[in-house]
Amino acid sequence: MTPAAVEMRGVELRLGRGFRLEVPELQVAQGEFVALLGPNGAGKSTLLRTVLGLLKPAAGVLRVLGEAVPALRGGALAALRRRIGYVPQLLPARSELPMTLREVVAIGRTARAGLGRRLRPEDWAVVDAWLERLGLAGLAARTFAELSGGEQRKALLARAMTQEPELLLLDEPAANLDLGWREQLVTTLEALYGQTRLTVVLVCHELEVLPPACHRVVWLENGRPTATGTPEEIFHDERVCQLYGEGLLTVHAGGRHAVVPANTVRHGSTGRAAGEQDHAGA
Amino acid sequence: MPGLDLMFWAPVMAGGAVAGASSGLLGTFIVGMRIPFLGVCVAHAALAGAVFGGLAGLEGPALLGPALGAAVVTALVLGLADPQRTRLDDNTVLSFLFSATMGLAFLGIGLYGILGKSDHDVRGLLWGNLNFCRWPDVRRMLAAALMLGGYVAVFFKELRAVMFSRADAEAAGIRARAVWAGFLVLTAATLTVNFQTVGGLMIYSLTSNPAAAAFQLTRGCGRALGLSALFGAVSGLGGFLLAAATDLPSGAVIVLVSSALLGGAVVWRRWRS
């Protein structure tokens, strides 16, 4: 039996005095595309950082790619992280840095090349291939600060992919993107998964960001996973009504999902109004 | 200028160029990490070390030992402090370290008076004087600069990743903390050696201005590094020559030349765009 890419059992972690992450059971199978969703402060990013070994749980079993993460130190932890691509939520904001996009993407090859060793031509070939694949080749010589927010997100995705990861962790990759860029990103993630069959854990709090490849959602609230299932199972009318208020409609079509105000839905929609039906027509 | 005694002034010119180039080199990462205050902080830590070394009976070049020790410890505190755990930004840690080391230095200088000792040696360290730079000083500065340059050459790609984002570099499996700590130790050593000759103010300007000017004019980390070192050397050597030609104080002119380079770079970039 193939071991899970991520396995958490009885994991507990405290952040300061206020927040506590508790994961009684969570598994992500190899090759699976899973989304962690939940309101702000639910613990989604904390869970992701725990998987990366950036935060240490106080109790429980945490295995990532077959490694017991809490027991790893120094070089062993760094070796595990080399196998994990990570796209952080926050974009580095040092606008004066002269680093080109190509240099930023090459950071993904840095650990693989070895400490103190120069990047080889093969490493640069991987960098250039990912720039090309994500439509960034024409921007390679620009500085990171000269790119738009959407291009920067793609650059960080390219950086993660140049690591040739076995597990990809995406922390709100569509944050602050306009609709056009968000859709580009969703299309890119779908294509990427289709081509690589990589294990992906995507953190977001809008179900519009889920690509069709994502067949399982884990819903987190107050630091605990409270539900897991397909997007259709998790985002049923009652939950949407409970989360966002009445008079909203969940639309599930073509593998994509959205929550929209019921009174904006035109004829032909496949969705149903959350809460009372008369709100949908209001 | 026509009466410049080259035998006497050659080490001064070499010292200015080496101090400028090494400060410009390390300044690329310091300005890139947005911690330009590091230079002056480490310089004051070195001063505190020298002051207490003097109180312990050390003199002259022997003061370099405690100065170096204090500077390295200060740099390591900054390098090893985990912003996640301490919940303190690097600049806040620097602010604390700067005020603490300056407080210690001035406490020590006060003790010289109370104990009836001369504080001439340590006061000289505070301001430095490039005009008294001799070949042994240049050799020390060159050795520190070469060690720093060698370290940057070996760990260039790791330092570039740390400069972009230390947290992201750690998450990508790069030994960011160790590489950054090593860089800070060599930075502390380089600044301490330079500090004895050029003083704190010149160090601050030579670590900040050349790098900031290079960032204005070029794309690419390697080019910025080279240009910053060049601007540093030009500031150090050019500033001295200008001061000699105009009979003005060399330290002040070096600082003003490096400032003018930054101002010129900003104007040039705006004009070009």
DSSP A71: G
What predicted TM-score, i.e. pTM, was given to this entire model?
A: 0.88
The model's confidence at residue B1, banded by pLDDT at 50, 70 and 90, is: low
Q: Considering only alpha carbons, which residue of chain A is nearest residue B217?
A: A98
By Cβ distance, the residue of B172, B175, B214 closest to A108 is B172
Q: Considering only alpha carbons, which residue of chain B is nearest residue A102?
A: B220
Q: Which candidate, A225, A224, A272, A274, places its Cα nearest to that of A248?
A: A274
- Residue-range domain boundaries for chain A: 1-83+165-231, 96-163, 235-282
CB spacing of A98 vs B223 below 8 angstroms:
yes
Chain B partners within 8 Å of A82 (Cβ) = 172-173
Confidence (pLDDT) at A276: 39
CB spacing of A96 vs B163 below 8 angstroms:
no
Residue A23 clears pLDDT 90, i.e. is over it: yes
The end-to-end CA distance of chain B, in Å, is: 39
The model's confidence at residue A280, banded by pLDDT at 50, 70 and 90, is: very low
Chain A partners within 8 Å of B163 (Cβ) = 97, 99
CA–CA separation, B60 and A258 (whole Å):
74
Query: Which of A248-252, B146-150, B197-201 is least confident?
Result: B197-201
Residue A275 clears pLDDT 60, i.e. is over it: no
Containing B258, the helix (H) or strand (E) segment is helix B250-272
CB spacing of A99 vs B164 below 8 angstroms:
yes
Report residue B133 as tokens. 């730079």
Q: Considering only alpha carbons, which residue of chain A is nearest residue B150?
A: A116
CA–CA separation, A126 and B159 (whole Å):
21
Strand A256-261 versus strand A84-87 pairing type: unpaired
CB spacing of A143 vs B224 below 8 angstroms:
no
Q: Is B245 on the interface with A (CB under 8 A)?
A: no
Amino acid at A231: P
By Cβ distance, the residue of A79, A96, A143 closest to B219 is A143
CB spacing of A99 vs B221 below 8 angstroms:
yes
Q: Determine what percent of chain A is predicted with pLDDT higher than 90.
A: 64
Chain A partners within 8 Å of B90 (Cβ) = none
CA–CA separation, A111 and A80 (whole Å):
11
Instruction: Indicate if ipTM > 0.90.
Output: no
**Model pLDDT for residues B69-125, shown as the tens digit of each residue:** 999 999 888 877 777 677 778 888 888 999 999 899 889 988 988 888 877 777 766
Chain A partners within 8 Å of B156 (Cβ) = 118
Please answer whether residues B244 and B250 qualify as being in contact, where contact means their C-beta atoms are separated by less than 8 angstroms.
Answer: yes
CA–CA separation, B120 and B93 (whole Å):
31
Q: Is B174 on the interface with A (CB under 8 A)?
A: yes
The architecture in CATH of the region A1-83+165-231 reads 3-Layer(aba) Sandwich (3.40)
Query: Among residues 200-219 of chain B, which lie with CB inside 8 Å of chain A?
Result: 212, 214-215, 218-219
Q: Considering only alpha carbons, which residue of chain A is nearest residue B166?
A: A92
Query: Which of A265-274, B104-113, B160-169 is least confident?
Result: A265-274
CB spacing of B172 vs A110 below 8 angstroms:
yes
Q: Considering only alpha carbons, which residue of chain A is nearest residue B161?
A: A107
Mean pLDDT of B119-147: 82
CB spacing of A82 vs B172 below 8 angstroms:
yes
Residue B127 clears pLDDT 70, i.e. is over it: no
DSSP B237: I
Interface of A with B (CB under 8 A): 52, 54, 74-75, 78-84, 86, 88, 92, 94, 96-100, 103-104, 106-108, 110-111, 113, 115-116, 118-119, 141-144, 159, 163
CB spacing of A116 vs B154 below 8 angstroms:
yes
Please answer whether residues B199 and B23 qualify as being in contact, where contact means their C-beta atoms are separated by less than 8 angstroms.
Answer: no
Beta carbons within 10 angstroms of residue B16's beta carbon: 33
**Model pLDDT for residues B22-70, shown as the tens digit of each residue:** 999 999 999 998 888 888 888 889 889 989 998 998 887 788 899 999 9
| Distance set, CA A68 to CA A22, B6, B34, B65, B169 (Å) | 18, 66, 36, 44, 21
Confidence (pLDDT) at A265: 61
Residue ranges of domains in chain B, CATH in brackets: 6-272 (1.10.3470.10)
Residue A79 clears pLDDT 90, i.e. is over it: yes
Please answer whether residues A107 and B172 qualify as being in contact, where contact means their C-beta atoms are separated by less than 8 angstroms.
Answer: yes
Q: Is B252 on the interface with A (CB under 8 A)?
A: no
Query: Among residues 13-32 of chain B, which lie with CB inside 8 Å of chain A?
Result: 31-32
Chain B partners within 8 Å of A144 (Cβ) = 164
**Model pLDDT for residues A94-121, shown as the tens digit of each residue:** 778 899 999 999 999 999 999 999 999 9
Q: Mutation test of the interface with chain A: which of B86, B154, B219, choosing the one with the most A Cβ atoms within 10 A?
A: B219
Containing A167, the helix (H) or strand (E) segment is strand A167-171
Helices (H), chain A: 44-51, 74-82, 101-113, 121-133, 149-162, 179-196, 231-234, 237-244, 277-280
Report residue B41 as tokens. 């902080």
Please answer whether residues A130 and A158 qualify as being in contact, where contact means their C-beta atoms are separated by less than 8 angstroms.
Answer: yes
Q: How many CB contacts within 8 angstroms connect chain A with chain B?
A: 98
Distance from CA of B9 to the nearest CA of A (A): 36
**Model pLDDT for residues A163-193, shown as the tens digit of each residue:** 999 999 999 998 878 888 889 899 999 999 9
**Model pLDDT for residues B107-118, shown as the tens digit of each residue:** 998 898 888 887
